[in-house]
Amino acid sequence: MKLIQSDNLPAAIGPYSPAVKVNGMIYTSAQVPITLDGTMVERDIKIQTRQVLSNLRTLLEDAESGMDQVVKVSVYLENIEDFGVVNVLFAEAFGDHKPARSTTSVKGLPKNSMIMVDAIALASDYH
């Protein structure tokens, strides 16, 4: 098992690793819409979703994987009515690659974010 750290993302806000690589798989911790300096982006679902997906992409690349290697995504939304907007932005981020996904509406998310996303992906050296 290899614990993955990233100098390209904000430090974890708790006692956990941003990602873990084990048996050819990458398991990411949930990403919230914060920038490298730890600033939460504007409370707008489009802006927050783009930031979360950017953070996820960066983390996967730092773990020697990528968005095209994602097997499963879990999405946590503060407001399930944002589902349609999130779908459009996920289609842009993943293109023709369509990983399995579950989406859950939750009452509260860390740092008062509107969206949080985690993923499971193949490690690039696994194929």
For 80-111, write each residue's pLDDT tens digit.
999 999 999 999 999 999 999 999 999 999 98
Whether residue 127 has pLDDT greater than 70: no
Q: Whole-angstrom Cα distance, residue 32 to residue 37?
A: 13
- The whole domain housing 7 covers 2-126
Task: Give how many domains the chain has, as a whole number.
Answer: 1
Largest Cα span, the chain? 39
pLDDT-based confidence at residue 13 (cuts at 50, 70, 90): confident
Whether residue 68 has pLDDT greater than 90: yes
Which residue carries 């708790």 as its tokens?
14
Instruction: Write the CATH number for 119.
Output: 3.30.1330.40
